[in-house]
Amino acid sequence: MDIGYTVSGFVVGLIVGLTGVGGGSLMTPILVVVFGIKPAIAVGTDLLYAAITKSGGVFVHHRQQTIQWKVVGLLALGSVPTALVTIAVLKSLTAKGINYENVMTTTLGVALILTSLVLLFKNQLLQIGRHEKLAAVKAMHRQLQTPMTIAAGAVLGALVTLSSVGAGALGAAVLLFLYPRYHAVNIVGTDIAHAVPLTAVAGLGHAHLGTVDYSLLVSLLLGSLPGIMIGSRFSVRLPDRLVRNLLASMLLLIGLRFAL
């Protein structure tokens, strides 16, 4: 067991519990950049790590009644099938001997940049969603909320399966825009609850492809499980603005490194 992996797991788990974001956005780049792990292994391992880690957060948020289960179901209706299709495509590429790691690193970079922008402009997204004078937005909330939630889940399914990034910050952005009346803690709880089935399906798919390092997974979990439990308990009382801005700045720099 590498103590560095365990410490990294604890820090990332704490941030996930506090803000609902930062899991794949932080862990996958840490594994690739800091520890030199191959992107495919980093993504696959991180997906299973996220599924198990966030399960602890779901337990806490469920007890606090901060999860909107109907919305979780709508997101999963789009994300889980898309994750399965993406895994099937990756398996086909592997069978043909095509190396898809460049696609994964580019996707990772783009996902990190999008995540950083979402975090930086979170308040503006919330204001747009709540602007009652915008007729188009108001109509979308009333008539297209359900299909757009499913469609957003489908996009997240592909993105998360390819990069392990997006289930947190991008998922939270979708909820902020489509469900602007939800309290922040409901956004966090619902986002974490949806991330569990998505990352579990995608992670098991990567396990089938052979891109999961189980010893690494155990080391990460030893730190992340207590981290997310602690973070989730404090999420109802701790403002996340400073953490969010610092995280966004770091993700933007890392994303540019991967994408360019």
Higher pLDDT, 123 or 136: 123
- Contact (Cβ atoms closer than 8 angstroms) between residue 44 and residue 206: yes
Instruction: Sort residue 67 into left (φ over 0), alpha (ψ -120 to 50) or beta.
Output: beta
Task: Say which residues have a Cβ less than 8 Å from residue 88's Cβ, sequence separation at least 6.
Answer: none
Provide the pLDDT for residue 150.
94
Which pLDDT band, with edges at 50, 70 and 90, does 39 fall under?
confident
**Residue burial 18-33, b: 16+ Cβ < 10 Å; e: rest:** bbbbbbbbbbbbbbbe
Taking only the tens place, the pLDDT of each residue in 149-198 is 999 999 999 989 988 877 777 787 788 778 877 777 788 789 889 989 99
pLDDT the model gives residue 20: 57
Cα three-residue angle 79-47-31, rounded to 5 degrees: 140
Q: Which helix (H) or strand (E) holds 223?
A: helix 214-234
Quick one: pLDDT at residue 89?
93
| pLDDT over 60 at 131, yes or no | no
Is there a contact between 236 and 20 (Cβ–Cβ < 8 Å)?
no
Model pLDDT, residue 245: 67
With vertex at residue 151, the alpha carbon angle to CA 232 and CA 49, rounded to the nearest 5 degrees, is: 35
Q: What is the pTM of this model?
A: 0.79
Indicate the angle between helix axes 101-120 and 39-63, nearest 10 degrees: 40
Contact 249, 116 (CB under 8 A): yes
Q: Is the pLDDT of residue 69 over 90?
A: yes
> What are the start-end ranges of the H helices in 140-183?
145-163, 169-178
